[in-house]
Amino acid sequence: MAEDSEHSGPDDISALGDDEGRRLGRYRLIRKIGQGGMGTVFEAIQEDLDRRVAVKILPKMLVADREMIQRFRREAKAVARLNHPNIVVIYEFSQDHGFHFFSMELVEGRSLEDLLKEQGRLPVTQALGLIQQALQGLCHAWEQGIIHRDLKPANLLLARSGLLKIADFGLVKDVAAQSGMTLTGAGMGTPYYMAPEQGYAAKEVDLRADIYSLGATFYHLVTGRVPFEGSTPFEVAVKVATAPLPPVRSVNPDVPVALSTVIEKMLSRKPEGRYQNAQELLDAIRACGPGGTEDRKPILVETIVQPGRAVAAPAEVGGGLFDALGMQFALIPAGKFMMGSPQGEKGREENEGPRHQVTISRAFYLGVHEVTQEQWKSVMGTEPWNGQEYAKPGKTNAASYVSWNDATEFCKEFSQKTCKTVRLPTEAEWEYACRAGSKTRFSYGDDDDYSSLGDYAWYSMNAFHVGKKCALAVGQKKPNAWGLYDMHGNVCEWCADWCEDSYVNAEDKAPKGPASGIYRVLRGGGWNYNPMDCRSAAHGGFRPDYRNCVIGFRVSLDLK
């Protein structure tokens, strides 16, 4: 939008001062970032807290309309009650210079509308992850009696971190308040995504209207087109109310049958034909992991391995993409251990000391296996090992030629797709999990002559020197006492921390390493490493952008 449009028209923003000095209350306006029927949105600085925010201003031409102001205030109050990571936070409602406005969280990123303009349509797994995030936020709003009524790609903001945020509750209905307030067009959302009943019974709509709009958005994400097209809003509205829905798979045959069935049910013309509550929809969405329940190949069902025994996966981790990729996690309990190696340990390097007690204050999940090539490709769509020296394609081979930067991008992408916090383990978490309660050189014992190492690890003597010169299939060796495979050997594994030459300045509780550095930590040794470099305490690092044939990673998950 042209800059001069900010200084003219019904908003009359020029009355607030020049470009550098426009102010509303405690806020200095920087630039316009959006505009809708309920107001104009500016990036701003809240000067007393020196923080960047978004400020939404009600058009000044509507200020005389008490009903409009009441509606605008209602939006602010309703959304301010909501506290959820997938909903934009409201800070303050106020007025100044005759303008009514509220400040809110500034989301640095782009909308799903922008993403669609750029990509045309999204991969099914990406779309599924985004819709799951939106649904989490909506469920919270519905629990508070709040109906959005204007869900669409433009109101779903994707932060640079991968977190999706629901914005613009401009048509919000507060069921608990039951104000009964109506306004010309107040029930009307955006025709392409609006539930049919919003056109004739706006005051009666419930969460099923949001389910329809989310379904229309889902349809657009996976097909690249809206469910019903028309040259005018009226024509679109007529089609929404009367025309048959073009089947999802007729537009994009790559959408799994099970998932297309879910989307089409969300778009049922009559509310009673849709999912009737949040739990029904959540169950249906969760059942449609990548490939859909009907289209999946046999998969390894995820389990959580506790020290000494296997148990069923808890709901907070299981399902969806984790199951589809056969990803397993071990539940690592909180506890204390001695980090580093003692003086006199065979093979010890100086950077492994001083040995010190560390407290892991919270339990966490850690991948039972290193991330495989198939898992990497399914999430990222690339094959960094392809064509490289000392690399062999294999679905279950550990992914290699992965830099620390690459691994963290995988975690961000996977977090976005699964709505979980997927990350690299800290170095302390890694060594704690590797040791699994042991105090010896290796998780299974001291093994001074390395006679047992080959039972637990791929390393130079049973891999490189016998012609197996690449990252090998995960899970072929014995696990440690906590059910983790390949903690010694196969590929070196990235940790979250910056690397340092010693632990002299290390913290003793949930340490996260130094605040900065040149190298990121690598742990565990690899298929071409000497046996002493595969010990539990062996410690090294490389630049975050470094890739080679023996570097990979595994991921961790935080408990709720």
Indicate which residues carry an active-site annotation. Answer: 150
Measured CA to CA, the distance from residue 137 to residue 89 in angstroms comes to 12
Say how far apart CA 526 and CA 486 lie, in whole Å: 9
Q: Tell me how far apart the alpha carbons of residues 385 and 376 are, in angstroms, rounded to a whole number.
A: 11
Specify which residues 539 forms β-bridges with: 523
Q: Give dist(CA 429, CA 431) in Å, integer.
A: 6
Rounded CA separation 411/380 (Å): 10
Which tokens go with 436? 């699994």
Q: Is 285 helix (H, G, I), strand (E, B) or coil?
A: helix
Q: How far apart are CA 36 and CA 14, in angstroms?
A: 19
Q: Where are the beta strands (DSSP E) in 267-398?
A: 303-306, 309-312, 329-332, 335-339, 356-360, 364-367
Q: Report how far apart, in Å, the C-alpha atoms of 374 and of each of 383, 433, 471 are.
A: 9, 24, 13
3-state percent breakdown (helix, strand, coil) of the chain, nearest 5: 30, 20, 50
What's the CA gap between 424 and 419, in Å, rounded? 16
Which amino acid is residue 23, in one-letter code? Answer: R
Contacts of 55 (CB under 8 A, 6+ apart): 24, 27, 29, 41, 42, 43, 44, 101, 102, 103, 104
| Residue 543 token pair | 């630049």
- Integer Cα distance of 416 and 404 in angstroms: 18
